[in-house]
């Protein structure tokens, strides 16, 4: 009777021993699975952390890159302003080839998508100082939005105009110029090209340091802006100082019947200014075959524009010059010459065509005036010239 109980007790001991054995067997397996899960979670968190850091760094770099780029597009809130704003400093580092190429850019859409006020570019071809600058200061005063100034002087000349002067900071990069040679026309092209960089410049007037305005700014602006033509002397002179300077080697680009002569001092509109700076057809011919006693500044532009756009030329200059004394250079006028009667002869002695109609206003400028003429010119400015 006792044996079954013992057996039962022994049998009861066997399950406990088996459970302990199973527990010890199962524990390593669970611990291993738990470790794997822990390791997996850790790896997952590490991966997430790495990508989060990388994403955060990318965002920071993108923000920095964006902030670095933004100022060049902002300025005053419009991107087109960067294109239409004229250069703030005329003393650039472009060579002539680069300058002429840059100046040749032409908008194909004629309607401007902004308010454009057309300006006159006054281009002064000088050796050095402008002795009549105080007279020009009076002429320009109050019309700052309607004009631009460009000065081509000798490279060695240092400008000394005060900040209040309209000539302050208006000197362009220049090169040496020889009278009667192609370097003269190259300087004029350089002036035109620099002026073309300001998209608001519509008319371009070439002047010298001895030129002066015969009328006030309003009269000159309206005269030029309302004209259907540009003003460049261009005529066929059969004598030795006209056709006699022609070289047959200029054919076929230029024939004898196309050869023209005119004053160096001109006014052209924007289209003709661009035609001048982009020319590669006539320039080589004139540079090679028009040398003294062929004076290229009297023939190159008149001939080229007469061939290309004769309907746009008035065939006369706006700058009065006295050649009555003969010689290679016109008369120069000093202090003793400056009287009301002197200018009365200029104003009343001419008749010309303006937009196809007769006009007694033929000249807007005059030359040559010596530095000694400045004081009497200032004395006549308000009464005779109305400025």
pLDDT in tens, the chain (387 residues): 333 333 333 333 333 344 444 444 444 556 555 555 656 555 555 555 554 544 444 344 334 333 333 333 344 555 788 778 888 889 999 999 999 999 999 999 989 999 999 999 999 999 999 999 999 999 999 999 999 999 999 999 987 899 999 999 999 999 999 989 999 999 999 999 999 999 999 999 999 999 999 999 999 999 999 999 999 999 999 999 999 999 999 999 999 999 999 999 999 999 999 999 999 999 999 999 999 999 999 999 999 999 999 999 999 999 999 998 887 789 999 999 999 999 999 999 789 999 999 999 999 999 999 999 999 999 999 999 999
What pLDDT is attached to residue 207? 98
pLDDT at 110: 86
Residue 243, helix vs strand vs coil: helix
> What is the C-alpha separation between 123 and 136, in angstroms, rounded?
13
CA dihedral (258, 259, 264, 266) in degrees, to 10, reads: -10
Between the alpha carbon of residue 21 and those of residues 16, 26, 270, 382, the distances in Å are 9, 9, 105, 124
> What per-residue string of b and e applies to 312-332 under the rule 16 or more CB within 10 Å gives b?
bbbbbbbbbbeeeeeeeebee
Task: Round to whole Å and give the CA distance between 219 and 373.
Answer: 23
Here the tokens at position 139 are: 């002429």
Contact 175, 187 (CB under 8 A): yes
Give the integer Cα–Cα distance in Å for 250 and 258. 11
According to the model, what pLDDT value does residue 71 have?
36
Pairing relationship of beta strands 267-269 and 352-354 according to DSSP bridges: unpaired
Give the sign of the dihedral formed by CA 72, CA 77, CA 80, CA 81. negative
Q: Is the peptide bond before 252 cis (omega within 30 degrees of 0)?
A: yes
* Burial zone of 207 (CB within 10 Å; 0-12 exposed, 13-18 middle, 19+ buried): buried
Apex 298 CA angle, 294 and 302, nearest 5:
120
Looking at residue 38, what is its pLDDT? 56
d(CA 3, CA 32): 44
Question: In sequence order, what are the residues at sequence separation of 6 or more whose Cβ sits closer than 8 angstroms to the Cβ of residue 201?
Answer: 118, 119, 120, 121, 148, 195, 270
Residue 168 is predicted with a pLDDT of: 94
pLDDT at residue 18, as a whole number: 41
pLDDT of residue 41: 55
- Paired with 230 in beta bridges are 313
Q: Is the dihedral of CA 317, 320, 322, 327 positive or negative?
A: negative
Rounded to whole angstroms, how far apart are CA atoms 125 and 297? 13
**Cβ–Cβ under 8 Å, residues 198 and 105:** no
Quick one: which of 254, 255, 261 has its CA closest to 281?
254
Q: Which of 265, 279, 273, 257 is nearest to 124 (CA)?
A: 265
- Beta-bridged to residue 207, according to DSSP, are 124
């Amino acid at each position: 009777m006792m044996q079954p109980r013992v057996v039962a007790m022994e049998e009861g001991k066997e399950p406990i021993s088996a459970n302990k054995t199973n527990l010890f067997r199962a524990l390593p397996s669970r611990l291993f699975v738990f470790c794997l899960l822990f390791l997996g979670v850790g790896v997952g968190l590490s991966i997430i952390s790495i990508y989060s850091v990388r994403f955060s760094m990318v965002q920071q770099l993108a923000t920095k890159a964006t902030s670095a780029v933004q100022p060049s597009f902002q300025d005053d809130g419009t991107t087109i302003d960067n294109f239409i704003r004229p250069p703030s400093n005329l003393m650039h580092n472009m060579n002539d080839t680069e300058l002429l190429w840059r100046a040749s850019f032409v908008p194909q859409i004629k309607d401007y998508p902004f308010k454009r006020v057309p300006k006159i570019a006054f281009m002064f071809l000088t050796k050095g100082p402008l002795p009549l600058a105080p007279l020009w200061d009076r002429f320009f005063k109050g019309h700052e939005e309607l004009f631009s100034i460009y000065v081509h002087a000798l490279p060695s000349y240092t400008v000394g105009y005060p900040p209040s002067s309209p000539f302050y900071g208006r000197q362009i990069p220049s090169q040496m110029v020889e009278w009667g040679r192609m370097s003269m026309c190259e300087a004029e092209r350089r002036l035109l090209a620099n002026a073309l960089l300001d998209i608001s410049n519509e008319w371009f007037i070439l002047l010298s340091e001895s030129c002066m305005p015969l009328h006030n700014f309003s009269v000159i602006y309206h005269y030029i802006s309302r004209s259907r033509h540009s003003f460049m002397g261009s005529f066929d002179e059969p004598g030795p100082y006209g056709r006699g300077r022609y070289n047959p080697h200029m054919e076929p680009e230029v024939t004898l019947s196309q050869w023209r002569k005119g004053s160096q001092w001109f006014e052209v509109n924007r289209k003709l200014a661009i035609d001048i700076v982009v020319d590669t057809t006539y320039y080589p011919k004139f540079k090679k075959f028009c040398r003294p006693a062929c004076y290229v500044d009297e023939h190159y532009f008149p001939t080229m524009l007469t061939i290309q756009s004769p309907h746009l030329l008035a065939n006369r200059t706006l700058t009065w010059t006295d050649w009555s004394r003969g010689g290679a250079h016109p008369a120069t006028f000093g202090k003793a010459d400056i009287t009301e009667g002197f200018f009365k002869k200029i104003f009343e002695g001419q008749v010309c065509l303006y937009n196809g109609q007769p006009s007694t206003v033929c000249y807007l400028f005059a030359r040559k005036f010596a530095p000694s003429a400045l004081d009497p010119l200032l004395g006549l400015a308000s009464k005779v010239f109305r400025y």
